[in-house]
Amino acid sequence: MEAARSISIWFFIGICLLVDGVLILGAGIYQLIHPPLHPVVLYSLHANVWWGALLAVVGLLFFVTHAPWRHRTKQ
Amino acid sequence: MSPLLAFAVTPRLARLSPVDLAIIIFYFALVLGIGWYLKARSKTGEDFFMAGREMTSWIAGLSFMSANLGALELMGWSAAAYEYGILATNAYWIAAIPAMLFLGVVMVPFYYICKTHSVPGYLKLRYDEPTRALSAISFAFMTVLMSGINMYAMALVLDIVLGWRMDFSIWISALTVAIYVGLGGLRSAIFNEVLQFVLIWGGALLIPVIGLIETGGWENLKLQIIHNTSVQYVHLWKYMGSFHNPMGVNWVGVVFGQGLVLSFAYWTTDFLEVQRVLAAKDLRSAKMAPIIAAGFKMFIPFIVILPGLLGLVVLPHLTGASLAKGGAHSYNAVLPLMMVRYCGPGLLGLGVTALIAGFMSGMAGNVSAFATVWTYDIYRPLIKKLGTDRHYVLVGRWSTILGVLISIGTAYITMQFLSIMDYVQGLFSIFIAPLFGTVILGMMWKRTTKKGGFWGLLVGTVSAASMFIWYKMSPAAVRYLALSKDAKPLAADIYLALWSWLICVIVTVVVSLFTQPQPEKELTGLVYGATEIPKEEGVSLLRKPAFWAAVVGIVFVVLNIIFW
């Protein structure tokens, strides 16, 4: 949906996923370097690293493809 | 004792890291920013109350589904899965999918073509002003009550899970909702519902994935559940022939009470849901919205029911609601417990944000629906008939704030009188089940008259309230309501809905047959047989809503057979 003929809801979702993904990925990498004293169950999977990376990539995709400046350029 | 009250005696579950807090704060900043941005797009009544009627089918569909997917829903049904096993999945399949498909294929054209602003507005067009007033007032009452109870529940959960003060949680969330809905109206509520949908999947999907890895896959999980409980916990229909199953309700109650009446009433006549469909940009998008929502709804059990089932294996000693004390956890907390079990820093913040987003968008949905019904169905016809569009938008903004304030008041009343929590499902059955009878007869049967509609709704609602008071004062009455001495309280609410709907339908039919029928020209655009539904000739199969409804319907049947 084009909310104001320029900014799509998917753009906001892209920002949200990108920021959250980067923060989660960062926390995961920090834990790789400094392993926690009380790890979560199946810590060995390093879920916050790959899940954070996935969210960041999907977020970046939405952010770029629905960016308002791209829309204006097309017009 | 209320399940949530029992939840309150358990110790705090989690501590947030700075990264988790950053994710939560960023969410609040983002929704306020979206509300501020959308303010400029909400100047007319159509913009503020109907989101400009420009939503695509995907946005309307995701919003339609998310309006129902609050955090109470997530936590409540995860807990139900721990208590009842896979039977809890019925809430997402038989009690949702057929009704959503019926709305999309059959009912949406009538709602959409008459260009009503609301369900009470449809009743005004189909029947008369008294019928609209009755349904609008009962809806407004129920909506702010539900909103307040949800707000209280959210504050309680945040208090227990994170140790946040309840006053802080109530006021911060209420003010945020008041600001973003007051500024952007329905469009803002819809934006945040779609955002919530993404956050819920992003925050909750990891739990079943890691849980299945820990338990060795679905087949191993089933074997361990059977070992810890009984075989009844892993079959959806096989043991529904009698009331002797974990849920204490038989297939008649599930199919007709839950699946036909309660579900159809909620999904097709609760304005909180229907408002999202009315905001679609054209008839095809409006028809596709509930069908798309049904497609996603079928897979929600993966992130809601499965964590509860996993809990039966990896957290086998959670106690019943009324037994949780002295450091033991209640199964009402199974979802946050699973979150804490698998989610490290960052992921926990995302999960908590998903819960907060679920609570807030549920509240926003209630408040935006309240503002519309209050402005268009109570204020305009009963208080000021000839205001300007600008005036009604202003009333809408103020009634949004009023709705939030009343909800806060309800939250504090609930805090004082916790037994209100036990009445939620029953109140829902009282107000919504008879309304479905009135709407569906009005929409499908030309012979239904104005007097029939009004008296059916009134008698149905009053008789539902009477039955409710009866079994609340005398719990033994459940056996008469549900027609079995083995019935449990859940069965009472389901059968209450079934009987009140039947009473509404019978009274409506009888009164209609004894009163003057309406001329057909008054029914144009409102009733089946008097309305020309636009044909879909020349449209490819893949763009036909009926085709996708059939696809979703087939998947629904297959899923029920697989988990029979």
CA distance B192 to chain A (A): 9
Question: What number of C-beta contacts closer than 8 Å exist between A and B?
Answer: 101
| Weakest mean pLDDT among B178-187, B325-334, B360-369 | B325-334
The domain ranges of chain B are 3-418
Closest Cα partner for B312 from B109, B80, B504? B80
Cα end-to-end distance, chain A, whole Å: 16
pLDDT at residue number B305: 93
Using pLDDT thresholds of 50, 70 and 90, give the confidence band for residue B561. Answer: very high
Closest CA–CA distance from residue A40 to any residue of chain B (Å): 5
Q: Are residues A12 and B187, on separate chains, in Cβ contact within 8 Å?
A: no
Length of chain B: 564
Position B439 scores a pLDDT of: 93
Instruction: Name the residue of chain A whose CA is nearest to B346's CA.
Output: A24
Query: At A1, is the pLDDT very low, low, confident or very high (cuts 50, 70, 90)?
Result: very low
Number of domains in chain A: 1
Distance from CA of A20 to the nearest CA of B (A): 6
In terms of Cα–Cα distance, which of B464, B526, B475 is closest to B497?
B464
Mean pLDDT, rounded, for B143-159: 82
Nearest Cα to A61, choosing from A31, A16, A5, A29? A16
What is the C-alpha to C-alpha distance for residues B300 and B197, in angstroms, rounded to an integer?
Answer: 11
Look at residue A1 and tell me if it is in a domain. no
What is the mean pLDDT of the segment spanning B152-160?
A: 79
Confidence (pLDDT) at B558: 95
**pLDDT mean over B61-90:** 85
Within 10 angstroms of residue B557's Cβ, the number of other Cβ atoms is: 12
Residues from chain B that touch A40, judged by Cβ atoms under 8 A, are 340-344
Long-range (24+ apart) CB contacts under 8 A made by A65-72 are A65/A10, A65/A14, A66/A8, A66/A10, A66/A11, A66/A14, A67/A11, A68/A6, A68/A7, A68/A8, A68/A11, A71/A2, A71/A6, A71/A8, A72/A6
Q: Is residue A3 part of a domain?
A: no
- In a domain, residue A2? The reply is no
Q: Is the pLDDT of residue B24 over 90?
A: yes
Q: Indicate yes or no: pTM above 0.90.
A: no
Query: Average pLDDT, whole number, for chain B?
Result: 86
**A contacts of B346 (beta carbons < 8 Å):** 20, 23-28, 48, 52
The residue in chain A having the minimum alpha-carbon distance to the alpha carbon of residue B25 is A20
Q: Burial-class residue B145 by CB neighbours within 10 Å (0-12, 13-18, 19+).
A: buried
Comparing CA positions, the residue from B186, B6, B155, B141 lying closest to residue B72 is B155
Angle at B522 between CA B520 and CA B525, to 5 degrees: 90
Contact flag A20-B23 (C-beta cutoff 8 Å): yes
C-beta of residue B529 within 8 angstroms of C-beta of residue B446: yes
pLDDT of B322-338, one tens digit each? 444 555 677 877 888 89
Confidence check: pLDDT of B8 > 50: no
Label residue A4 by pLDDT band (50, 70, 90): very low
Residue B418 banded pLDDT, cuts 50, 70, 90: low
Q: What is the pLDDT of residue B510?
A: 97
d(CA B62, CA B68): 10
Q: Is the pLDDT of residue A2 over 60?
A: no
Here the tokens at position B497 are: 């809905």
Say if CB B24 and CB B182 are below 8 A apart: no
B474-509 pLDDT tens trace? 877 777 777 777 766 667 778 888 899 999 999 999
Q: Is B216 on the interface with A (CB under 8 A)?
A: no
**Is residue A47 in a domain?**
yes
Mean pLDDT of B147-151: 83
Residue B239 near chain A (CB below 8 Å): no
SS3 B13: coil
Q: Please list every residue in chain B whose beta carbon sits closer than 8 Å to the beta carbon of residue A20.
A: 23, 26, 202, 346, 350, 353
Residue at token pair 């109206």: B185
Between the CA of residue B511 and those of B130, B457, B507, B561, what are the distances in Å? 16, 12, 6, 42
Strand partners, A2: A8
Question: In this structure, is residue A37 part of a structural domain?
Answer: yes
Which residues make Cβ contacts (< 8 Å) with residue B347, sequence separation at least 6?
Answer: A24, A47, A48, A51, A52, B203, B206
CA distances to B116, B119, B236, B398 from B392, rounded to whole Å, are 16, 18, 49, 10
Q: Report the pLDDT value the prediction gives residue A18, as an integer from 0 to 100.
A: 96
- What's residue B256's pLDDT? 82
In a domain, A75, yes or no: no
HEC profile for B98-157?
HHHHHHHHHHHHHHHHCCCCCHHHHHHHHCCHHHHHHHHHHHHHHHHHHHHHHHHHHHHH
Confidence class for position B419, pLDDT limits 50, 70, 90: low
d(Cα B124, Cα B130) in Å, to the nearest integer? 8
**Partner-chain contact A41 B206, CB within 8 Å:** no
pLDDT tens, position by position, B227-279: 888 888 888 888 877 777 777 777 877 888 778 888 898 899 888 888 889 89
Position B505: which residue type?
A: V
The per-residue pLDDT for B541 is: 84
Residues B329 and B319: beta-carbon distance below 8 Å = yes
Task: Give the closest residue to B461 by CA, choosing from B275, B265, B254.
Answer: B265
- Are the C-beta atoms of residues B160 and B333 closer than 8 Å to each other? yes
* Residue B392 in tokens: 């009604």
- Asked whether the beta carbons of residue B30 and residue A12 sit closer than 8 angstroms, the reply is yes
B positions 308-327 inside 8 Å of A (CB): 314
Domain range for A63 is: 10-68
Average pLDDT value for residue range B445-449 = 93
For chain A, helix, strand, coil in percent to 5 are 70, 5, 25
Q: What is the ipTM of this complex?
A: 0.91
Asked whether the predicted pLDDT for residue B194 surpasses 50, the reply is yes
| A56 falls within a domain | yes
Exposed/middle/buried for residue B223 (C-beta within 10 Å: 0-12, 13-18, 19+): middle
CATH domain B3-418 topology: Sodium/glucose cotransporter (1.20.1730)
pLDDT(B175) > 70: yes
Q: Which residues of B touch A13 (CB under 8 A)?
A: 194-195, 198
What are B156's two structure tokens?
A: 């309680």
pLDDT at B302 over 60: yes
Which of these, B532, B110, B456, B540, lies nearest to B102 by C-alpha position? B110
Average pLDDT value over all residues in chain A: 86
pLDDT reading at B5 higher than 60:
no
Which residues of chain A are within 8 Å of residue B34 when distances are taken between CB atoms? Answer: 12
Is pLDDT at A26 greater than 80 in this prediction? yes
Binding-site residues on chain A for chain B (CB distance < 8 A)? 1, 3-4, 7, 9, 12-13, 15-17, 19-20, 23-28, 30-31, 36, 39-43, 45, 47-48, 51-52, 55
Residue type, A12: F
In a domain, A22, yes or no: yes
- Nearest residue in chain A measured CA to CA from B22: A23
